[in-house]
Amino acid sequence: MRMCADQSVLLVIDIQERLLPAIHQGEEVVQHILWLAGVARRLEVPVLATEQYPQGLGASVPALRERLDARQFVSKEHFSALGEGQLLKAPGGDRHQWIVTGTETHVCVQQTVLDLLAAGRRVFVVDEGVGSRRERDKALALERMRQHGADIVSREMVAFEWLQRANTADFRQVLQEFIR
């Protein structure tokens, strides 16, 4: 199954100020997420972001906060973003395809992905858009999510499947702004 812009929602899990310095290549993960969020905005794909216990881990990184509206953020205490029961009710939460990014891959991302799959959603995890403190934990989590039915994809796979074809205004705009 291909990803379709009109069926997708982009989920950004816990890209928070106090957690990010501990994430292996954390700044690169953030840049990949921001890139994909920009493509999503251009193609009118809803974006949702979670914050794990923000009073302890701080808010999302400023670069993400600047790009999203406050209504796009969901605060949580459960590791799974579905734990509090609010995520699927948020704007775009009713969509069938979930493009998942964030941290930590082996904790909140993995538990969210497993719960989304159990809820009947089609899940695509963006490899360069997820991170953990240790590379091994990320690798194990990606493999486990794949074994349970999630597709592991790259950010460009997402963008080009959302675009579907060349020679459109959206294609030209995304090519000019994002594809280098």
Location of structure tokens 């997402």: 158
Per-residue pLDDT at 103 exceeds 90: yes
State the pLDDT at residue 31: 97
- Residue 168 CB contacts under 8 Å (≥ 6 apart), including other chains: none
State the pLDDT at residue 138: 98
Rounded to an integer, the average pLDDT of 61-89 is 92
| E strand or H helix that includes residue 14 | none
Query: What is the three-class DSSP state of 120?
Result: coil
pLDDT digits (tens, 9 = 90+) for 160-171: 999 999 998 888
For the chain, what is the mean pLDDT? Answer: 94
pLDDT digits (tens, 9 = 90+) for 76-96: 999 999 998 899 999 999 999
pLDDT digits (tens, 9 = 90+) for 20-45: 999 999 999 999 999 999 999 999 99
State the pLDDT at residue 7: 97
Paired strand residues for 11: 48, 100
Strands (E), 53-144: 73-76, 97-103, 122-131
Question: Taking a C-beta distance cutoff of 8 angstroms, is the pair 48, 23 a contact?
Answer: no
CA 72, CA 3: separation in Å to the nearest integer?
Answer: 21
Q: Assign domain 5-177 to its CATH superfamily.
A: Isochorismatase-like (3.40.50.850)
Per-residue pLDDT at 66 exceeds 80: yes
